Structure 1
Amino acid sequence: MTKLTRLLTWILKAAVFFALFAFALNNQQDATVHLLFGHQWRAPMMLIVLAAFALGLVVGVLGMLPGWWSRRNARASAPPARSDLAPLDDTLTAPPHGV
């Protein structure tokens, strides 16, 4: 990466951090989450948003685990690549899009 790209990436990360920090400072009031069977959870709104994000992250990772495991098992049991196959002929490939 060039120095300019690194600088722009750092500035973008800093801007996102400060925007989220300002959001957290502006949402410190208590909120109530009504759970099942009459239970309630009272906490600052930012804590509730953070908990919802973390829960979504966990559910997403758990949903992706079966696919990761099946690809890992398929890769582990795949036969080694054959080196005696002829290389592909470049003349048979399609020209770039738009040409």
Structure 2
Amino acid sequence: MRILIWLLRALVFFVLLGFALKNDALVSLRFFFETEWRVPLIVVVLAAFAAGVLLGVTAAVMTLLTQRREIARLRESVRVSSLPHEAPRPVDYPRTL
């Protein structure tokens, strides 16, 4: 099974390497104030991919942190509810001594 996974990884690597080698043409990225960068197309594609991965990981981490806080809150409420409580006081029990 490990050999199959490594073969699949090698295949993906070589496909992406071929894609990068075939898309080495320069593209112009135009920004504000007549600023222009000329970079290879693969740099633009990889930057967009990296930005997407970063955005996805950030969203996943935020969801994970929210779930951990909720789990901690629920565990605390279960712990507090399982503690032995005082016996209920009668209605006419004096509040002050």
Q: TM-score, normalised by structure 1?
A: 0.64
**1:62 aligned partner:** 58
Whether 1:24 and 2:20 are equivalent positions in the alignment is yes
In the alignment, does 2:75 pair up with 1:75? no
Residues 1:6 and 2:2 aligned together? yes
Amino acid at match of 2:63: G
Structure 1 letter corresponding to 2:35: H
Q: Deviations over 1:1-55 (max 9, x none)?
A: xxxx212111111111001011111111211122344332211111111111111
CA RMSD of aligned residues (A): 2.2
Query: Cα 1:45–1:7, aligned 2, differ >3 Å: closer, same or farther?
Result: same
CA distance in 1, matches of 2:37, 2:48: 13
Counterpart CA distance in 2 for 1:62 and 1:49 is 20
Query: Structure 2 stretches of 5 or more lacking a match?
Result: 80-97
Tell me which residue corresponds to 1:43.
39
Give the structure with higher Rg (CA): 2
Deviation for aligned residue 1:62: 2.6
Secondary structure of the structure 2 residue equivalent to 1:42: strand
| Percentage of identical aligned residues | 36
Q: Provide closer, same or farther for how the CA distance between residues 65 and 9 of structure 1 changes in structure 2, counting only shifts above 3 A.
A: closer
Q: Which runs of 4+ in 1 moved over 3 A?
A: none
State the Cα distance separating 1:72 from its structure 2 match. Answer: 1.2
The Cα shift of 1:75 comes to 2.0
Task: Using structure 2 for the length normalisation, give the TM-score.
Answer: 0.66
